[in-house]
């Protein structure tokens, strides 16, 4: 990272004080938690300096928590990571686990932040699945987001839309493609985690909420958003 550019890693977490995973993967990260749960995370071993406790009502869903970090963190580039990441891996022609090496993982996070700053890109994200036969390049310019997302605050133009809160990460990408014409997806770096499997977090969301959000995304984005309900797979349909 350049001396002038600052980057912070934030981990929104809810009801997962008994399974701290992501905290052990970075040289420095801050857990964003509800005030009502602050003591539980302290008791779990997270340093007080690494906890950002916020009034419950301000971060009582995933969308609010993401944008609270983006709008209130002091750094130039805000990285938001899921709280259930077990490890990271490189993927080129095959997968190679990084092995919980904090220095390497943090340097990769910072490298991508520096690329965003150098190129004037507002949003970046890793993909959800490490599949070797799908690797074809180091970077792509849009895709389906996974567990880690970068926001370059001086360029980023996405804003929260509560009507699509269950698909807010895809909505943000489409906003960036509309307003900034680009988003960055590193295809060589992936996580190993338990998305929507661990208790707590967003695992208890209601099926109807998801269906309503999908319907609202279709109304909002038309042909640029598709969702296969049988396979439970979204798709961004933007030609580049």
- Please tell me the pTM assigned to this model: 0.91
pLDDT at 194: 58
pLDDT digit string (tens) for 170-216? 999 999 999 999 999 999 999 986 544 455 555 445 889 999 999 99
pLDDT at 12 over 90: yes
pLDDT digits (tens, 9 = 90+) for 228-239: 998 888 999 887
Q: What is the dihedral of CA 94, 191, 175, 56, to 10 degrees?
A: 170
With beta carbons less than 8 A apart as the criterion, state whether 12 and 85 touch.
no
% of the chain residues with pLDDT over 90? 77
pLDDT digits (tens, 9 = 90+) for 52-98: 999 999 999 999 999 999 999 999 999 999 999 999 999 877 788 89
Tens-digit pLDDT profile for residues 126-139: 988 777 667 788 89
> How many CB atoms within 10 Å of residue 222?
9
């Amino acid at each position: 990272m350049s001396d002038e550019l600052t980057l912070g890693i934030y981990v929104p977490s809810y009801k997962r004080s008994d399974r701290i995973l992501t905290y052990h993967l970075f040289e420095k990260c801050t857990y964003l938690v509800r005030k009502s749960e602050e003591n539980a995370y302290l008791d779990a071993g997270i340093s007080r300096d690494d906890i950002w406790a916020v009034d419950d009502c301000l971060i009582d869903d995933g969308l609010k928590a993401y944008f609270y970090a983006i709008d209130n963190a002091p750094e130039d580039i805000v990285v938001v990571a899921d709280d259930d990441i077990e490890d990271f891996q490189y993927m080129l022609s095959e997968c190679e686990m990084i092995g919980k090496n904090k220095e390497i993982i943090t340097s990769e996070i910072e490298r991508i932040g520096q690329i965003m700053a150098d190129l004037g890109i507002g949003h970046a994200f890793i993909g959800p699945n490490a599949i070797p036969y799908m690797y074809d390049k180091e970077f792509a310019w849009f895709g389906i987001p996974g567990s880690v997302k970068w926001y370059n605050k001086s360029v980023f133009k996405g804003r929260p839309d509560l009507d699509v809160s269950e698909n807010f990460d895809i909505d943000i990408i489409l906003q960036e493609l509309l307003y900034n014409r680009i988003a960055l997806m590193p295809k060589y770096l992936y996580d190993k985690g338990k998305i929507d499997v661990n208790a707590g977090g967003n695992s208890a969301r209601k099926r109807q909420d998801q269906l309503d959000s999908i319907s609202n995304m279709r109304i909002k984005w038309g042909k640029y958003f598709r969702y296969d309900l049988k396979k439970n797979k979204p798709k961004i349909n933007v030609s580049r």
